[in-house]
A and B are shown apart, each in its own frame.
Chain A
């Protein structure tokens, strides 16, 4: 049993090496890491840019200037322009931007927010609210709000934007890698007919599939080590990360095997591969916008996985999410593996 598994694994690794799988996986990880480290600016933001012009010269001018300076410090994309027209001109060029124009009317400041038009009411309300709040604060009217932080240990360090996309890469590349690669491997063997030669040997389907999944885990771990190593060095919780990548790989490659069992080549299965890939990629939106978490995203298994990977890469002490995710995926992996074995028993021998 184990002998056969290792024989299969050796064969699969040789096949992987001779098809440049290892080279490609390592190259992709290095390219990604280098781009993150050297090309993506740390202060990249998906928040809208602001264009402003202040015409108002009254008593509160100082307070307004102070507020603007404060936000210029926090927010990289605040730009002063010379007139309301210029605000509009700039905004038209950049659809992810808002404008602020301050004038005077009856002696009091009039703050006009210029929006693009697609922003929802709540966002606009929040905009006005935070401006009001800032003015109140600068006038010395500060009210403290009691805050109960449930997990005091969980203190999130500010992660630079460029590094914060590493978990997304770790999800799509090492973890979901197996999903497509394993399909290619299986289709190649179907095409060669070698799967039939295997079926008339004492080797069983479980060993055959397990060996392929193992290859995907190995590739996934290599990719993880290379890109995580370059991007964050030794700061990550590697043990947890490996655990997550391993269970994630088993799940995704077993899923790939199920798909592969129903088709004979990549072109036929293409639509399913694309659809599942896109579905599993949706939690990235929630990752970038953490308060956007509709139920149809939360029920995807990649949703907790992505956040657990983040916890492993940038540890904040919230180990619970790692354990629970690994546990969930162990269950999922066992289930998908069993289904894949069955779907092969039914379809593999068929011509």
Chain B
């Protein structure tokens, strides 16, 4: 135990010297704060209209009901604006008093069609004998917010792993690993000592992230347990990268591949229809994603959670068994 703690202490100390631990602690928090500012603008995103300022206020207000309105004095100004990269529809009237829609031609379907509907709504005088009602389920977290939150959590969990990996590479490069190998310390103690950073930081981070984003109505025990299980993945990733990389440069190369796999599983989990999700079952990050999503949306039961965690631990264990020989050899 004393030796485990001294490994942990060394890591923390060496990290502090380079301000790394400070960065590690601050990075996810800064990202979360940035994200907090980003969500409202992303959530309020609608269509954009470049409207002729000479049009009646009522008309302008009608467009404001469906999107963001920018006013322009002349038709030429509207045209210039429409030709920008983003999608925006220009609206003016011709000399006959008819509405004219100005488009660049490459806009998405909604930007082309919705303004037409608004114009029809404005000029149509026929009454529609249909009643419309809108009711909501009261969910406040948008998918963007949920996915973003989970991504932040994943980043926080992985940062612990990355630091472990690069600490190992550093020790390899400085040959201090050899010095440790001639002490009575066992490989097991070394591994545990290295892992503490990867376990403690994510817990602090995950709760801070949830707090900053104002997500309070979640089961904290579930969050804690899910975080602990997920940290295992981060730690194993860290060790694998640290061990198979002989220097920082190969460390980066390996990290790239692991990150590609990771982000593809997440993107897959977001985009693939449920029926194709089995394609992702092999990837632990998929289960982390699914688990946290369930927790954040309050749909996960303890049964689900045990299932997810079972997958995470099982898969991590399999990866560990496969690489066990390499880890032992790599640390020699």
Contact = CB atoms under 8 A, between A and B. Distances in A.
Query: Do A and B come together as binding partners?
Result: yes
Interface of A: 19-21, 24, 27-28, 31-32, 35, 39-41, 44, 46, 60, 88, 91-93, 95-96, 105, 108-133, 135-136, 141, 143, 145-156, 180-181, 183-185, 187-188, 191, 265-268, 270-271, 274-275, 278, 285-286, 289-294, 298, 303-304, 307, 316, 318, 321
Contacts of A185: 249
Contacts of A116: 136-137, 139, 142
A265 B130 contact: no
Contact of A132 (B113, B121, B137, B273): B121
A271 B139 contact: no
Contacts of B248: 184, 187-188, 191, 265-266
B139 A286 contact: no
B104 A151 contact: yes
Interface stretch (B77-85, B200-208, B304-312): B77-85
A122 B46 contact: yes
Contacts of A27: 257
Interface stretch (B162-170, B183-191, B313-321): B162-170
B31 A114 contact: no
Nearest to B106: A156
B332 interface: no
Interface in B271-329: 271-273, 276, 279, 297, 299
Taking residues whose C-beta sits less than 8 angstroms from the other chain, chain B's interface range is 35 or more
Nearest to B48: A291
Contacts of A124: 134
B179 interface: no
A291 B260 contact: no
B264 interface: yes
Interface string B111-138: 1011111111101101011111111111
Contacts of A88: 137
A150 B132 contact: no
Interface in B70-97: 79, 82-83, 85-88, 94
A270 B165 CA distance: 13
Contact of B46 (A136, A154, A291): A291
A34 to B, nearest CB: 11
B105 A270 contact: no
Contacts of B47: 122, 126, 291
B158 to A, nearest CB: 11
A290 B249 contact: no
B137 A115 contact: yes
A46 B142 CA distance: 13
Given A126-B46, A188-B249, A35 B264 contact: yes
Contacts of A293: 48, 85-87
A291 B66 contact: no
Interface of B: 15, 18-20, 23, 26-27, 30-31, 41-48, 65-67, 79, 82-83, 85-88, 94, 98-108, 110-111, 113-121, 123-124, 126, 128-143, 145-146, 162-163, 166-167, 170, 173, 247-253, 256-257, 260, 264, 268, 271-273, 276, 279, 297, 299
When A and B form their complex, which 7 residue pairs have the shortest distance between CB atoms, in order from nearest? A293-B86, A118-B142, A290-B87, A292-B45, A122-B46, A271-B23, A154-B105
B132 A113 contact: yes
Pick from A35, A92, A150, A265 the residue with the most CB of B within 10 Å: A150
B120 A290 contact: no
A146 B107 CA distance: 16
Given A146-B100, A266-B166, A303-B85, A118 B43 contact: yes
Contacts of B145: 118
Contacts of A147: 100-103, 116
Contacts of B121: 129, 132-133
Nearest to A107: B129
A109 B130 CA distance: 5
A19 B246 CA distance: 9
B252 A132 contact: no
B31 A278 contact: yes
Given A136-B124, A184-B249, A291 B272 contact: no
Contacts of B85: 293, 298, 303-304, 307, 321
Contact of B43 (A120, A128, A145, A149): A120
Contacts of A141: 124, 126
A114 B139 CA distance: 11
Given A181-B252, A265-B170, A268-B20, A291 B138 contact: no
B297 A188 contact: no
A20 B249 CA distance: 9
A127 B101 CA distance: 20
B41 A20 contact: no
A218 to B, nearest CB: 16
Contacts of A32: 260, 264
Given A148-B100, A267-B170, A271-B23, A285 B137 contact: no
Contacts of B88: 291
Contacts of B119: 143, 145
B100 A270 contact: no
Given A91-B137, A95-B143, A146 B86 contact: no
Given A126-B114, A132-B130, A155-B105, 13 more contacts: A28-B256, A28-B260, A92-B299, A113-B132, A115-B136, A117-B139, A117-B140, A118-B141, A141-B126, A148-B100, A266-B166, A290-B87, A291-B67
Given A270-B20, A318-B106, A145 B44 contact: no
Contact of B130 (A44, A108, A268): A108
Nearest to B134: A113
Given A120-B43, A147-B100, A267 B18 contact: yes
